[in-house]
Structure 1
């Protein structure tokens, strides 16, 4: 017994029918990447819950969008939070059906300041419980919430942005983690993700600088005068391409190595990422003063 009936040999009019060859979705064995760009699975960097990445169907940049992996009844989701997937791309609107997709940011339990509609409060609570279970089991470590962390052995606090702004190929990007923690996305011979970082192996580093907080083309100006940017415009062009591909120096020399994760670069938007703008360079440190007051000093 066959699950799929054999195709008819002739059309209803008597004309011979040519059966079409069924092809399944698979990754090309000769391709440099092993990622399916449509519905690429992953986990939220803030809460650890599962997400799916889809390219944005509208807009000039088509940057990926994080969506909740399950469909929800459209009646429970406000109209401003409804998304739908069509032909492998995500669109910020409903498609007229009774089901829709939801952006992960709307129900992420790590974003306490974000308002949550009443219909989605239950889903957010269940995601928060799942996050707590993963933390207790050691399967997930939440990122540090403050932008400043302690420096071992000195008893001082250094300004270390958790999500720095990086100037790469003369375009501002928002990194997903501190500069020295950006991990390579290539696959090793053991079919695991490379544990090296972009600054490992004697790679050329960038420089922290204060640039005018002016908007890029088509964006509004920022209220701040300057912002701290990790500038990579001074390194060679090939090194900037390596940074944008998010590969360590070893895997940058092997272009046939596969990718096991999506690059974490996010185009910087001053309207959505204004909380990550810092007007002070991270080369300064703060020493605890009397009565808990912080004193600023320059790191030697």
Structure 2
């Protein structure tokens, strides 16, 4: 006969109660459903790790994951974190943060003092990028020099999108914008915002200007993905960067920050496209707008 095991007890004779693990829950009425700040991601150009922070001007910035001695970093390149918000310049401590764009090996080298030591850090990141490419863990998104352009070469890598009467610049092509909600398996949702059964926007050619009263750039137009004709709930879903399933589940937490940045023609002039992203370069009948186009 097999005896049942005796329950474990503390030194005072009280039974040991095993606590079941509980997942984090966020109240639906919370203004922010993000579970943590400093979202860790990877640079699309070099593959190295970066941390995304929000700035005081409602934009985001990618910082190098580690802190650096403030002595070796120029004053105008120093950043510090306060209450989860990234602020330029130092905070008086001997340590500071650095924007990843300064030491990204896939970009042109910035003129830095020889005594800063940042050139050595840039070389380390370059070696890490080469290792990632050699093992097949990273594929550069930049087209090699001299390669023939693909049929989607005119598709903006960071399109300009208008929704809720505000113009934003996206971090990915329109059909690659991923949902930021958390699934039941506690990982990020793999669905995209633009699906075959969802309403599509309209590509337009508009003057290269923002909506804050800024003057347009001289004799320049830009391609704009306009979502203003969509219902308010659909535009709000795009602004929250959620798929159709998680937009109907407000209790689901956000696993990443929405990657929208307010569009500024002077700051984001490198991402302005002067052509509509049509495959055959053909102008649709009825004007410069490409109605119902899917990128």
TM tier relative to shorter chain? 0.7 to 0.9
The CA RMSD measured in Å over matched residues stands at 2.5
Counterpart of 2:200 in structure 1 is: 205
Alignment-derived partner of residue 183 in structure 2: 188
8 A contact 1:209–1:228 mirrored in 2: yes
Aligned-partner Cα distance in 1 for 2:83–2:200: 40
Question: Where do 4+ consecutive residues of structure 1 move more than 4 Å?
Answer: 296-300
Is 2:46 the counterpart of 1:51? no
Structure 1 stretch displaced more, 132-141 or 213-222: 213-222
In the alignment, the residues of structure 1 paired with residue 52 and residue 194 of structure 2 have an alpha-carbon distance, to the nearest angstrom, of: 26
Runs (5+) with no aligned partner, structure 1: 1-26, 152-156, 286-295
SS at match of 2:141: coil
> 1:132: which partner in 2?
130
Q: What are the residue-to-residue correspondences of 1:109-258 with 2, within 5 Å? A: 109-112=105-108, 115-118=110-113, 119=116, 120-145=118-143, 150-151=150-151, 158-200=153-195, 202-217=197-212, 219=214, 221-258=216-253
Contact 2:193–2:241 (Cα < 8 Å) also in 1: yes
8 Å Cα contact 2:207/2:216 also seen in 1 = no
TM, length-normalised to structure 2: 0.77
1:240-293 CA-to-partner distances (Å, cap 9, x unmatched) read 1111111111111111122222222111121221011111111253xxxxxxxx
Alignment partners' CA distance in 1, 2:245 and 2:196 = 8
Deviation at 1:35, TM superposition (A): 2.5
Structure-2 change in CA distance of 1:31 and 1:64 (3 Å): farther
TM-score (norm 1): 0.76
CA separation of 1:264/1:141 partners in 2, compared to 1, >3 Å: closer, same or farther? farther
1:105 partnered with 2:101: yes
Q: 1:92 is matched with which residue?
A: 88
Q: Distance in 2 between matches of 1:275 and 1:30?
A: 39
Structure 1 residues 95 and 135: CA distance shift in structure 2, 3 A? same
Q: Partner of 1:13 in structure 2?
A: none
Per-residue CA deviation, residues 87-125 of structure 1 (Å, 9 max, x unaligned), is 32221112223221111111111222x524143211111
CA distance in structure 2 between the partners assigned to 1:299 and 1:158 by the alignment: 19
Equivalent residue for 2:60? 64
Structure 2, unaligned stretches of length 5 or more? Answer: 1-22, 286-295
String of CA shifts for 1:99-153, please: whole Å, max 9, x gaps.
21111111111222x524143211111111112222222323332448x9524xx
Change (3 A) 1:55 1:75: same
Length, aligned pairs only = 253
Higher RCO structure, 1 or 2 (CA under 8 Å, sep 6+): 2
- Compared with structure 1, are the counterparts of its residues 163 and 45 closer, same or farther at alpha carbon in structure 2 (3 Å cutoff)? same
Q: Contact 1:40–1:53 (CA<8 Å) still a contact in 2?
A: yes
Query: Aligned-pair distance for 1:192?
Result: 2.2
Contact 1:283 1:299 in 2 (8 A): no
